[in-house]
Amino acid sequence: MGNKLVSLGCLMFALGASNVAAVESTCYGTTSNGRLENGVNLPSSGDNFVTYSHVARMAGRTYVHSEVKAIVLDAYKALAVSHPDKVFKYAETGYEEGGRFRPHKTHRNGLSVDFMTPMINSDGESEHLPTHPFNKFGYNVELDANGRLDDLHIDYDAMAAHIVALHKASTARGHDLWRVIFDPKLQAGLFETEYGSYLKRHIQFSKKRSWVRHDEHYHIDFSVPCQ
């Protein structure tokens, strides 16, 4: 009898875990005026990626639409194969229920994700952009006109590969990328990579500088159907 109860308990736990995993999000409105139901949290780390802040993640600032989570993780998996020597870091996304997300003007319906700009050091090694409370978790970092910070500079190859991987992961799930916001003065480096022609064909980049520079991170809005 005891073994039967244990087995039943295990089955109920498994079914419960399956139901949690199967939760689908619903987004409403737009990235600048919307909300989210059943938002899901991005994992704190993976084989080739980390969160920008464990504290901010615990505070609920890294929730997204379930489809966006799947896309982001699928892209990282693809990059682990195509670029095993590269590391990536995601940043702010939004709240579990969406809504206003200070200080951002968007990030309100689970379809917006900030990614910290991948960097490379003087030895040619992939490195994370430093993110900690003293630089506002990376958002107060200022790269120079050449995309440099001390001995680090933008890894355009990694960044371009990441955007392409996100686009391919999106279309594989029947979605798309709406836009990529990144400092227009630094975009040229992306088009000089092997992915330049692909980016020009498939990705809509910001043409004008937004209210914040977007040099230390690139903002991506995903095109997923909303109510």
pLDDT digits over 56-65, tens only? 999 999 999 9
Give the architecture-level CATH label for domain 2-223.
2-Layer Sandwich (3.30)
d(CA 86, CA 155): 9
Pairing state between β 152-154 and 148-149: antiparallel
pLDDT digits over 166-215, tens only? 999 999 999 999 999 999 999 999 999 999 999 999 999 998 766 677 99
Instruction: Give the orientation angle of helix 66-82 with respect to helix 156-172, to 10 degrees.
Output: 130
Task: State residue 142's pLDDT score.
Answer: 95
* Domains of the chain by residue range: 2-223
Task: State residue 208's pLDDT score.
Answer: 76
CB 150 within 8 A of CB 52: no
d(CA 76, CA 57): 19
CB 110 within 8 A of CB 175: no
The mean pLDDT of 11-29, rounded to a whole number, is 61
CA 83 to each of CA 9, 18, 86, 161: distance values in angstroms, whole numbers, following the listed order: 42, 32, 6, 8
d(CA 116, CA 52): 8
Which is more confidently placed, 146 or 14?
A: 146
Residues with Cβ within 8 Å of 117's Cβ and at least 6 positions away in sequence, in order, are 129, 143, 147, 154, 155, 159, 215, 216, 217, 218
d(CA 146, CA 159): 15
Enter the tokens of residue 64. Answer: 């997204």
Least-confidence region, from 11-20, 22-31, 69-78: 11-20
Any idea what DSSP says for residue 221? E
CA 200 to each of CA 154, 164, 187: distance values in angstroms, whole numbers, following the listed order: 19, 11, 11
